[in-house]
Amino acid sequence: MRDYREIKSRLRGSVTPVITPFKANDDIDFATLSELIEFQLENGTHAISVTGTSGEPSSLTEEERVQVMKTAHKTINGRVPFVPGTGSTNHDETMRLTKKAEEIGADAALVIVPYYNKPNQQALYKHFKTVADSVDIPIIVYNIPGRTAQNLHVDTLAQLSKDCPNIIGVKESNKDFEHVNRVLLKCGRDFLLFSGIELLCYPMLAIGGVGSVSATANVLPGKVAQMHDAWFDGDVATAQKLHYELMELNDVLFKDTNPAPVKAALGMMGKIEPHLRLPMDLPSEELQNEIRETLNKYGINLQYA
């Protein structure tokens, strides 16, 4: 059995969930994906994730998800930890994708609570334990009740962390802050807690969290990384200041379903062709104008104003 202490010590800070760029014909733009990852690393991002919620995984085939993981792993080339999303509403697909992440050389896998089918807690336990037992790669459980319509209970997660040594942490996209506090109480203070709610990235650090997986980091990676750096350096005042500086951008990027506003913003910045696969689409013109105004306030250089 692997010793997971080394990756637990490295996997912290701003983990950017990089979007999947598409061309106008719906093909994945792999060259642009590599450029987006380089943009992240140049701006101090601490780790990279792909094919999570921001990567539109339900709009990708299984093979496309593997291709995105391979491209990301090759581009990162060991410079920071790589944590691809491998979860699905389908158990067998989750197993295959998690094993593929292990084969590719990912540092950990981010496995979401299955969406749409709303399994009960016993079923969730069986699902995650079977996935974890099938691989020798660290697992970060991804709990996002707003997307999955099911909340992974703290007691279920605690039992998983006890029974599966490679379940080393959780990404909590959970607005119930009492729940989040109890995760560390029940799972242990060394359990890796990541925020998936932008406005809770800083508060989760304050209770013992180790970082965040924030879609906003696609647009402004430097400031998101700096907030974490300041916190880890003990500069609480700067971390708090950056938390509030980011709030207006966080708000506008979640006025429509992620990653539509983020892709609109990246298009305005000239980073991508702003395109989503149906049934997703870009935000309304009104919201796009608001996004543009907000980016201008942050001094972000726009190629397409």
**Residues annotated as catalytic (active site), given as ranges:** 142, 171
Q: What does 165-206 look like in DSSP terms, one character per residue?
A: TTEEEEEE--S-HHHHHHHHHHH-TTSEEEE-SGGGHHHHHH
Note the Cα 94 to chain centre separation in Å: 17
**Secondary structure (DSSP) of 102-164:** HHHT-S-EEEEPPPSS---HHHHHHHHHHHHHT-SS-EEEEE-HHHHS----HHHHHHHHHH-
d(CA 22, CA 20): 6
Cα–Cα distances (Å) from 165 to 27, 109, 275, 285, 292, in that order, read 38, 14, 40, 48, 45
Beta bridge mates, 110: 85, 140
Name residue 292's amino acid: R
Residue 259: asked if its preceding bond is cis (omega within 30°), the reply is: yes
CA dihedral 238, 243, 245, 247 (to 10 degrees): 180
Residues 6+ apart with CB under 8 A from 118: 148, 149, 150
Q: Across the strands, what pairs with 155?
A: none
